[in-house]
A and B are shown apart, each in its own frame.
Chain A
């Protein structure tokens, strides 16, 4: 335990006699006392007598340096420190240690923050526009030159995006159908209108929820995977390697993913529509509506245009999911956390865009009376 004895010498100097162990566990109290003792005698020179210090480590040296730095150079002196501790103390220049040589950058004020944010948003939008142009050009080239597409990659990605996503799409769609049917049927039963739940499920799932929920699932699953995979390639300089080989990363990495998403998302949407209807039909059986009645009711109310309204959207959603995932991957910065950031951005901006575009579709369909 460290102790501090304060006394005044005959020559007027204040003496701070330290003793015991000077380490991180024992100096907290004497540190505060020492500072107070020096501050209480502003006109006197101070001697820190370390003759009885048994042990002194880095923390103890920090205490001594801080006491020395309380006054201008020379006014506080350390005396009688054992040579092995003195050597430790001599490693440091008091003035240099005390001065913060790398002060934190000046914090931006509110207006600057808004400006930086706006510039960031503008830059991101510009990147997105450039990326849309590059992707469209690459897709157009792929359409005109199908042999230029790396089909091996396309089928591999199709499996990841499509086949591997079937279980989760089935589960969510089925539960969605069940929940929608159950929550609607209870109030409808009060009016004897349970049968119209089939209409609701048919229209809501095929026009809106089937494509949207499938797309949101894929944004979280495949969009994130695209961003992580391409982000890791960016960090590992694999994208640089492509560039210096003269190969366009958009054509090489983005085109196969967009094609795979375009092939798989509509199929998964169709699958989600059917499974959610199945969930709804099974639930309505418990409300005494047989399966056949449910099918006839859906057939009567849902026509081809309702199905197409949802199906067409799924193609646009596919481009959005794959495009945003790939863009965020290519934008990945350096560092360990960069891939995580890219993945998060891919999912967040993907879902926001999906919902926004879905809203635009709803407005267009309203205008076109679809």
Chain B
């Protein structure tokens, strides 16, 4: 199999930094015909870290699942570097999926494989590199996330934070243009969470990849986000978009300010 991966270093000429790498247009998502989000439209700029946030049950992870083509939307399109993942099938769909890497909330590492074997898997499936070459790349990716000493460990033998880092290494195996991270800090202690934030920031800076992160952890949002979009289940759409600090201090929507300032909704005494 020929290796025709599209990496951040191999950006098509038409794709300058000003052209959005993801365009979500009029996306309506939901299950069983019931819409959770309606007519959502936004862009993700090349090389930025965009955080999708919202309250619990607002549909953040659902939106992410539709953006990576796991679920079919009720309406709308998701253009990844110009190609619609919603309508693509077969080889066209595989070509789009080659451009993205996904880290799931649970890590979703394959339990019967070591960390290195997890990272090797996409390389074995998509490239014609030799086993030794693939091994070297897998070790490099794991060392990039600080797991050089754990390549032979099974996922169950390392901590939750390490599993998430290994999942990021696997997502980066084919040097995708875009990395989607679903709740990277969930279930981690503050120090591990901060380390993961620093890792994301460092990878973004050094690799030039675009990150789309779903989270509602405020420290993480302020640490990593270049820009946020905030979704809300009451309006079934985006209620705020922009720099998180500006939104915290200047948003005209009191609920948005309340969210960023971590204030509870007042209840009757």
Q: Say how far A185's CB is from chain B's closest CB, in angstroms.
A: 48
Is B100 a contact partner of A244 (Cβ separation < 8 A)?
yes
**B98 in contact (CB, < 8 A):** yes
Q: A244-B68, A245-B121, A247-B125 are known contacts. Are A238 and B97 too (CB-CB below 8 A)?
A: no
Complex formed: what's the CA distance from A237 to B163 in Å? 14
Taken residue by residue from 233 to 245, chain A's Cβ proximity to chain B (1 for < 8 Å, 0 otherwise) reads as 1001110110111
**B29 in contact (CB, < 8 A):** no
**A246 in contact (CB, < 8 A):** yes
In chain B, what residue has the closest Cβ to A247?
A: B125
**Complex partner residue of A244 from B102, B110, B111, B121, CB under 8 angstroms:** B102
Q: Say how far A246's CB is from chain B's closest CB, in angstroms.
A: 4
Complex formed: what's the CA distance from A127 to B22 in Å? 33
Complex formed: what's the CA distance from A238 to B106 in Å? 9
Complex formed: what's the CA distance from A236 to B94 in Å? 22
Is A241 a contact partner of B104 (Cβ separation < 8 A)?
yes
Across-interface contacts of A236 in B (CB, < 8 A): 106, 108, 111
Across-interface contacts of A233 in B (CB, < 8 A): 110-111
Q: Which of A237-296 contact B (CB under 8 A)?
A: 237-238, 240-241, 243-247
Q: A238-B110, A240-B70 are known contacts. Are A245 and B122 too (CB-CB below 8 A)?
A: yes
Q: A245-B97, A246-B93, A246-B97 are known contacts. Are A240 and B125 too (CB-CB below 8 A)?
A: no
Across-interface contacts of A237 in B (CB, < 8 A): 104-106, 108
Is A244 a contact partner of B69 (Cβ separation < 8 A)?
yes
Q: Which of A134-173 contact B (CB under 8 A)?
A: 156
Across-interface contacts of B69 in A (CB, < 8 A): 243-244
Q: A236-B106, A236-B108, A237-B108 are known contacts. Are A244 and B122 too (CB-CB below 8 A)?
A: no
Complex formed: what's the CA distance from A243 to B125 in Å? 13
Is A243 a contact partner of B108 (Cβ separation < 8 A)?
no
Is B108 a contact partner of A238 (Cβ separation < 8 A)?
yes
Is A244 a contact partner of B125 (Cβ separation < 8 A)?
no
Across-interface contacts of A238 in B (CB, < 8 A): 108-111
Across-interface contacts of A241 in B (CB, < 8 A): 102, 104, 108, 110, 170
Complex formed: what's the CA distance from A244 to B68 in Å? 7
Complex formed: what's the CA distance from A20 to B170 in Å? 66
Across-interface contacts of B70 in A (CB, < 8 A): 240, 243-244
Complex formed: what's the CA distance from A247 to B68 in Å? 14
Complex formed: what's the CA distance from A208 to B196 in Å? 60
Question: Among the interface residues B65, B70, B126, which one has the most CB atoms of the partner chain A within 10 A?
Answer: B70
Complex formed: what's the CA distance from A285 to B15 in Å? 84
Across-interface contacts of B104 in A (CB, < 8 A): 237, 240-241
Chain A residues engaging chain B, CB cutoff 8 angstroms: 156, 233, 236-238, 240-241, 243-247
Chain B residues engaging chain A, CB cutoff 8 angstroms: 65, 68-70, 93-94, 97-98, 100, 102, 104-106, 108-112, 121-122, 125-126, 170
The 7 closest A-B pairs by CB, nearest first: A246-B97, A237-B108, A241-B108, A246-B94, A237-B104, A244-B102, A238-B108
11 more CB-based (< 8 A) A-B contacts, given A244-B68, A245-B121, A247-B122: A233-B110, A236-B108, A240-B70, A241-B102, A241-B108, A241-B170, A243-B70, A244-B97, A246-B97, A246-B125, A247-B125
